[in-house]
Structure formats: structure tokens, C-alpha cells
Structure 1
């Protein structure tokens, strides 16, 4: 069975972890060391960023 590829790149996940303040935990313990709440906040922030980017693209097309 092949390993499933993640949707978010490693660098994007690291950027989010830095922004949310738990990147030190990731560096020390890996992604398995973060709290479920932190993981949820990371997903929420990623969705917000994607929605903002999508809205920006739509606005460019409407100009």
C-alpha cells in the first residue's frame, strides 16, 4: 500500500506552526508531539489562508 501524500507542504505546515507558536515543539518532538488543539488551529488557519487567497483571485478576475 502506498503512503498517502499530504495536502499541505512541510514548509507551509512549519510556517503555520511558527505563526501559532508551537514550532519549537515540532522541532523537538515532531508533528506527533503537538496537541490536538494545536493541530486543529493549524487546519483552521490553513483554511482561512486558502479562503483569503481564493477571494483575492476572484477579485482580480472581477476588476
Structure 2
């Protein structure tokens, strides 16, 4: 089986984790240690950032 490649770079995910306040968990336990809610919030924030870039807002 091939492994799925992520859409977000590792550095972008780390930046989002820091912004959302769960980077310490990522450092200690890896990405598997975060809560589903945190993962969802990370995806939501990434979408917001992408939409803002498309519309020219920051």
C-alpha cells in the first residue's frame, strides 16, 4: 500500500499548531496525540488562510 501524502507541509502544520495552542502536545506525542477537535480546528484555520489568500485579504 502506498502512503498518502499530506496536503500541508510539516512546517505549516507546526505553525498552525503553535497558533492554536497544541504544539506542545505535537512535540511530546506526535500528530497522533492531538484531539480530533484540534485537528478539525487546524483544518478550518488552514482553509481560512487559503480563502484569505485567494481573495487578497490577510
Q: Normalised by the shorter chain, which TM-score bucket?
A: over 0.9
How far is the alpha carbon of 1:28 from its aligned partner? Answer: 0.1
Give the alignment's TM-score, normalised by structure 2. 0.93
Partner of 1:9: 9
Aligned-CA RMSD value: 1.2
Matched residue count: 57
Give the alignment's TM-score, normalised by structure 1. 0.86
Query: Structure 1 or 2: larger helix share?
Result: 1
How far is the alpha carbon of 1:2 from its aligned partner? Answer: 1.7
